[in-house]
Structure 1
Amino acid sequence: MTETLKLLIIEDDTTQIQMYQDNIDLYNYSNKQNIEPNCITNLEEGLQALENPNYDAAIVDLKLSQGDQDGKGNLIISKIRSALRIPIVIISGYPQDLDAQYKTEDNPFIKVHQKDDNFSKILDDIIAVYKTGITNILGKKGHIEQYLNDIFWNHLSTTIDYWKSQVVNDKNMEKILLRYTLSHLQEHLELSDTQEDFEEYLPIEMYVSPPIKKNAFTGDIIKCTEDESFWIILNPSCDMAQSKAKNITVALIEKIENDYILSLKRQIREDSSGVHAINKQLELEKLLRNSGSLKYHFLPEASCFKGGFINFQKIKSVRYKDLYLKFERIASVTDRFAKDIIARFSHYYSRQGQPDFNTSKILEDLLKDNRQEEKIIK
C-alpha cells in the first residue's frame, strides 16, 4: 500500500485551492499515489497548522489576503524554516514579493513557481523528494525523533544522577550531553533494521561539504587554485585543533583512473578469462576496499568531489599562512573515515622492514637435510 504524503497548502484563493484539490485527485489516480492535502486559507490558521509536525511538504502563496502588500507568505516560510524540515514550494503570481534572503539562497528545498506552471510536474518533484525518505528521517515525525526518544528514556534518564553531580563541575554540560547523545545515536544508525548486522555506507556519507569547521582541519580535502589539483590534510588533529601547526602536511589525491589503475584495467582486458586477469581484478578490488597497497587510500566519488586515490608517496608541506591563499576547502572527510586515513598514512611511513636473507640457500639446506634423514631411515 502506498504511504500517505501529507501536503500542507496555504492559499487564500478558494478557486485556486479547488484547482489544487482536483489536480491532486487526478494525479493520485493516474500515478497510484496517495497525496493528502490540507488546505488553509489565511495566515493565522497557517501558522497554527505548522504546530503539527506531520507534514511532508508545503505549498505556499505569498499574498494571503486582499490588499496584502507585504507578502505575508514569507512569515509562513520563515516559520517552516525555523520549526520544520520539509520542502517548500512557493506558487505565486507575485514572485517578486519573496523575501530577499530566499531569493539569494540556492536551496533546492525552496522552489518558486508561477501560478500557471505545470502543477503535475510540481507534484512529481514533491514525490521525488519524499521518496528519498529525507522527511521520514529528519522530519519532526522521523526516525531520528524515535531514536532520540529511546536514548532519552533508556540511557540518559537512567544516568541522570551522574549528570546532576557533574553540573557544578563543568560549565559546558549541555555540549557534553549533546556529544553523549550523538554517540548513542551513531550506534543506532550503524545497525541495519534487523539489528543483526551493520549498514553499508554510501560514498556521500564520507564527506561533509561545505566543511562545518571554521578553520582547516585534519581530513580536509582542498583544491589548489593554481592547477586545480586535489590534496588532503594529514596533520594530527590535536595540532590542527590547537592551531599549533605552522606547516601543513598534504598528500596528493590522484584521479581514480591514475596510471596504476589504468595498467591494472589494461591487463584485465588483455587476459579477460585467464588467472592473471582474475588476480589483477582481485588486486583492484582490494585497492577499492583499502585492503591493498598501503601506498594508496581510495576516496569514492560523491556529488561534492570526484573521488580518487590518496598517494602517500606524493606529499608536501604547505605553510599554514599560505593555505588559504593557494587552496580552497572543498569538503571534510568525516571523523570515522579520517581516522582510518591517518592510521594508514602512519602505517605506511612506520614500516621498518629488515635486510633480506639468502632464502634460496636456506631452502636448499633445509631440503638437503630432509633427503639425508630419508637415507638414514631407509
Structure 2
Amino acid sequence: MESFAELRILVAEDEESKIKEWVDAIAAHNVDVENKKFSVNAQFAKSVQGALSLIGQFRFDAAVVDLRLEIEDGVEENNTNGNDLVRHILVTEPMGVVVYTGQQSEADDYRVPQVRIMNKGEGLAQVFDWLSSNKDLFLRLRAANQTFNRETAKIFFGSIWPRWNHWTSDSLPGNQSLTDVLARHVVAHVHDALLDASGDRTHPEETYFVPPIKNRLDTGDLVNIDGDVWIVVTPRCDLASAGKVETILLAKCKDVSELWAAALGAGAKSERKCNELIQHERMPKQHFLHPMRDNNSQTHGPWMAQFHHIRALPAAEAVVQLLPLRFASLSPLFVPSLVERFGAYFSRIGTPAYSSE
C-alpha cells in the first residue's frame, strides 16, 4: 500500500463549533488520502499561550490562526491576539502561516506576502487547497531540518561535547554570547559537511542571499543604479569597520543572459559553452556571476563583473545611496573568488610592448 506524507499543523481557534468543523474536515480529508496524497495531523490551541506551549513541544509544518483567541485559557474577550501569535511565528518558526478569520481587516501588515489571509465565510476547503499547493515545500523544509539535526549530532558527539570544558572556560572578547559562538561553530561544520557530501557542487540559487541579510553595505552586494547593475568589490575587512576607507569601489555588471541562453541551447556543446562562461571566458578582466531569481520569481542575469569598469563613491555617500538600491548579495561561499580575481587583475604588472623596429 502506498504511503503518504503527513502534514502537521497547528490550529489556533477558540470557538468549539469551529474546532469541531476542523476535526470533521480533517477526518474527511484523511479518509480520502489516496486522492489527496497527504494526510493532516492537527493540534489545537485556544489561546496564544496554549499555541506557544504546543510550538515548544512539537514541530509544525504550518499554522492556521484565528485573530480572536482567548486572553488566557478559559477567558474570552474581543481581541486580535492572533496577530501576536503570527508575529511570534514569523521571527522564531519557519513554517507556513494562514490567518483564517472573519475579521480580515484587523489582520496586521505582516510584511510577508506568503502569509495568506483567508475569510472564514469561504470555508475550510481553501485552507486544504493551500496546504496541498505548498506541501512539497513544507516537506522539503522538514527534511532539511532532519539533515541539519543529523549533521549536528555528528559534530556534537565528535567535537563539541568532548571539548565543552574549553568552550566554557575561555573568556570571550567583546560582548559575544557563548550561545552565538556555539551556533556559528555548528553551522560552519554542518555547511562544510553538506558541501563535501555533494562533491563540492552547489545549486545556482545558493549563490545569492535575496534580499541581502545584512543591514550594512557588504562585499558582493548587487545594486541597481539607474538601470545598470553594479557589484561592491571593496574588501569585507574595509567595509566592516566604519570610517576605515574613504571610497567604496563597485564593478559594473555586463548582462550576458543572451550568451547564457544560447549556450544552454547548444545541444551536445551546451556543457562546454556554459563552462566557458562560468570560467569567465578565460579573461582576467571579468568575473562570472550566476543568474538569479528574485522573490517574484523573475530571472536576472547572469552577468560578467567588469574589473576594467570601476566606479568609486565616497564612503559616506555610498552607504546612504546604495543601501536602498541593493537587491541581492553574494553568499559567503562565493565572495572570496570575486575578491581574489579582482585583486589578481589589479596586481598584474605586465611588460612593455615589443617592437622589432
TM superposition score category, shorter chain reference: 0.7 to 0.9
Amino acid at match of 1:306: H
* Match in the other structure for 2:290: 300
> Aligned partners of 1:320, 1:241: CA distance in 2, in Å?
12
Aligned match of 1:231: 230
> Does the CA contact (< 8 Å) of 2:209 and 2:329 recur in 1?
yes
Q: What residue is the counterpart of 1:374 in the other structure?
A: none
What is the CA–CA distance in structure 1 between the aligned matches of 2:336 and 2:134, rounded to whole Å? 33
Whole-angstrom distance in 1 between the partners of 2:173 and 2:321: 44
User: Are 2:54 and 1:49 aligned?
Assistant: yes
Q: How far has the Cα of 1:186 moved from its partner?
A: 1.5
Q: Does 1:242 align with 2:245?
A: no
Q: What letter is aligned with 1:237?
A: R
Change (3 A) 1:240 1:119: same
CA 1:283–1:149 in 2, change beyond 3 Å: closer, same or farther?
closer
**Alignment of 1:341 onto 2:346:** no
Tell me which residue corresponds to 1:163.
Answer: 167
Task: Give 3-state SS (helix, strand or coil) of 1:346's partner.
Answer: helix
Q: 5+ residue gaps in structure 2?
A: none
Q: CA offset at residue 285 of structure 1? A: 2.9
**How many residues were matched structurally?**
336
- In 2, the alpha carbon distance for the partners of 1:319 and 1:169 equals 32
Q: Which of 94, 98, 108 does residue 103 from structure 2 map onto?
A: 94
Selected match of 1:331 from 328, 331, 338: 328
Larger Rg: 1
Q: Residue 7 of structure 2 aligns with which residue?
A: 5
Are 1:180 and 2:181 matched, yes or no? no
Rounded Cα–Cα distance in structure 1 between residues aligned with 2:120 and 2:345: 61
Amino acid at match of 1:341: L
Q: Residues 183 and 43 (structure 1 numbering): CA distance in 2 closer, same or farther, change over 3 Å? A: closer
Matches of 1:169 and 1:79 in 2, distance apart?
A: 31
Q: How does 1:215-364 map to 2 (within 5 A)?
A: 215-224=216-225, 227-243=226-242, 244-257=244-257, 261=259, 265=262, 278=269, 282-290=272-280, 292-304=282-294, 306-307=300-301, 308-327=303-322, 328-353=325-350
Aligned counterpart for 2:68 among listed residues 63, 67, 83 = 63
Structure 1 residue 239 displacement after superposition: 1.5
The 1-side partners of 2:161 and 2:251 are apart by 45
- Partner residue, 1:368: none
Letter of the aligned partner of 2:230 in structure 1?
Answer: W
Hey, what does 1:120 align to over in structure 2?
125
In 1, Cα distance between the equivalents of 2:51 and 2:172?
44
Q: Is the 8 A contact 1:221 1:232 kept in 2?
A: yes
Are the counterparts in 1 of residues 195 and 202 from structure 2 also a CA contact under 8 Å? no
**Residues 283, 292 of structure 1: 8 Å contact kept:** no
| Native 8 Å contact 1:90 1:110 kept in 2 | yes
Q: Secondary structure at the match of 2:282?
A: coil
Q: Distance in 2 between matches of 1:180 and 1:93?
A: 46
Q: Is contact 2:5-2:37 (8 Å) kept?
A: no
Q: Any gaps of 5 or more consecutive residues in structure 1? A: 359-378
Note closer, same or farther for the CA distance 1:164–1:325 as it changes in structure 2 (3 Å cut): closer
Where does 1:113-152 land on structure 2 (aligned, <5 Å)? Answer: 113-117=118-122, 119-132=124-137, 133=139, 135-136=141-142, 142-152=146-156
Given the alignment of the two structures, is residue 72 of structure 1 paired with residue 67 of structure 2, yes or no?
Answer: no
Q: Is the 8 A contact 1:300 1:306 kept in 2?
A: no
- Give the partner amino acid of 1:294: P
Give the residue type in structure 2 aligned to 1:15: S
1:93 CA displacement:
0.8
Judged with a 3 Å threshold, the aligned counterparts in structure 2 of structure 1 residues 309 and 117 are, in CA distance, closer, same or farther, namely: farther
CA distance in 2, matches of 1:87, 1:191: 30
Displacement after TM superposition at 1:289 (Å) = 4.7
Rounded to whole Å, the distance in 2 between the matches of 1:313 and 1:119 is: 59
Distance in 2 separating the partners of 1:333 and 1:93: 43
State the TM-score, normalizing by the size of structure 2: 0.79
Q: Is the 8 A contact 1:167 1:173 kept in 2?
A: no
Corresponding residue SS for 1:4: strand
Q: What do the CA deviations read for 1:86-105 (whole angstroms, capped 9, x no partner)?
A: 2221111112333xxxx222
- Secondary structure in structure 1 of the residue aligned to 2:9: strand
Distance (whole Å) between structure 1 residues aligned to residue 116 and residue 205 of structure 2: 24
Regions of 4+ moved over 6 Å: 355-358
The question of whether the paired residues in 2 share the 8 Å contact of 1:85 and 1:138 is answered with no
**Which residue does the alignment assign to 1:376?**
none
Mapped to 2, the partners of 1:219 and 1:322 lie a distance apart of: 18
**CA distance 1:281–1:187, change in 2 (3 Å):** closer
Residues 278-324 of structure 1 show CA distances to partners (whole Å, capped at 9, x for unaligned) of 5x973443213547333332222223371222122222222222214
Q: Which one is further off, 26-35 or 332-341?
A: 26-35
Q: Secondary structure at the match of 1:112?
A: strand
Query: Are the equivalent residues in 2 in contact too, given 1:10–1:40 (CA < 8 A)?
Result: yes
Q: Distance in 2 between matches of 1:346 and 1:47?
A: 51
- Cα shift at 1:181: 2.5
Q: 1:189 to 1:44 in 2, by over 3 A?
A: same
Instruction: Give me the whole-angstrom Cα distance separating, in 2, the residues matched to 1:115 and 1:34.
Output: 22
CA displacement at 1:108 relative to structure 2 = 3.8
- Counterpart of 2:68, as a letter, is K
